[in-house]
Structure 1
Amino acid sequence: MEYVFGNNLLNKVDMKIVSFIPIKLNNQRLPGKNTMLLNGRPMCDYIFKTICQVNSIDENYVYCSDEAIKEYMPKEMTFLKRDTYLDGFQVKGLEIIDRFVKDVDADIYVLTHVTQPFTKASSIETALQKVVSGEYDSAFSAIELQDYMWKDGKPFNYDMKNIVRTQDLDPIYMETGAFFIFRKEVFTELGQRIGSKPYMHVIDQFEAVDVDTAEDFEFAKAVALYMSQTK
Structure 2
Amino acid sequence: MTRTVAVVPMRHNSERVPGKNYRLLAGIPLYHHVVRTLNAVPEIDLVVIDTDSDFITSDCAEHFPTVKVLPRPEHLRDGAIAMNDVLLNTLDQVEADVVLQTHSTNPFLKTSTVSAALQRFNEPGRDFDSIFSVTRLQARLWDSKTQPVNHDPSVLLRTQDLPPLFIENSCFFIFTPQLLRERGTRIGPRPFMMEMAPLEAIDIDVEEDFLLAAAVAEGKGVAP
Q: 1:85, CA displacement in angstroms?
A: 2.6
2:221 counterpart letter in structure 1? S
Q: Out of 184, 187, 190, which is 1:194 matched to?
A: 187
Alignment root-mean-square deviation, CA:
1.4
Distance 1:83 1:137 in 2: 29
1:53-92 residue pairs with structure 2 within 5 A? 53-73=40-60, 74-92=64-82
Q: 1:70, CA displacement in angstroms?
A: 3.0
2:103 counterpart letter in structure 1? H
Match of 1:142 in 2: 134
Distance 2:11 2:166 in 1: 29
1:211 counterpart letter in structure 2? I
Distance 1:29 1:84 in 2: 21
Q: Out of 172, 175, 178, which is 1:185 matched to?
A: 178
Q: 1:153, CA displacement in angstroms?
A: 2.2
Larger mean CA deviation between 191-200 and 170-179 belongs to 191-200
Match of 1:167 in 2: 160
Match of 1:45 in 2: 32
Confirm or deny: 8 A CA contact 1:130 1:199 kept in the other structure. Answer: no
Match of 1:217 in 2: 210
Q: 1:81, CA displacement in angstroms?
A: 1.4
| Identity across the alignment (%) | 33
Of Structure 1 and Structure 2, the greater strand share is in 1
Q: Which has the higher contact order (CA 8 A, sep 6+)?
A: 2
Distance 2:87 2:146 in 1: 36
1:53 counterpart letter in structure 2? A
Q: Out of 2, 8, 11, which is 1:24 matched to?
A: 11
Whether 2:94 is the aligned partner of 1:104: answer: yes
Confirm or deny: 8 A CA contact 1:131 1:183 kept in the other structure. Answer: no
Q: 1:109, CA displacement in angstroms?
A: 0.5
Give the TM-score, by structure 1 length: 0.89
Q: 1:50, CA displacement in angstroms?
A: 0.5
Q: Secondary structure at the match of 1:147?
A: coil
Larger mean CA deviation between 112-121 and 79-88 belongs to 79-88
Distance 1:124 1:158 in 2: 33
Confirm or deny: 8 A CA contact 2:51 2:57 kept in the other structure. Answer: no
Gaps of 5+ in 2: none
Q: 1:158, CA displacement in angstroms?
A: 0.9
Q: Cα deviation per residue 1:23-74 (whole Å; 9 max; x = unaligned)?
A: 0111111211111111211111100100101111111111112332134321
Confirm or deny: 8 A CA contact 1:23 1:62 kept in the other structure. Answer: yes
Distance 2:209 2:166 in 1: 21
Confirm or deny: 8 A CA contact 2:6 2:48 kept in the other structure. Answer: yes
Distance 1:149 1:34 in 2: 32
1:146-161 residue pairs with structure 2 within 5 A? 146-151=138-143, 152-161=145-154
Give the TM-score, by structure 2 length: 0.91
Confirm or deny: 8 A CA contact 1:118 1:209 kept in the other structure. Answer: yes
Confirm or deny: 8 A CA contact 2:121 2:131 kept in the other structure. Answer: yes
- Runs (4+) of structure 1 exceeding 3 A deviation are none
Q: 1:176, CA displacement in angstroms?
A: 0.9
2:30 counterpart letter in structure 1? M
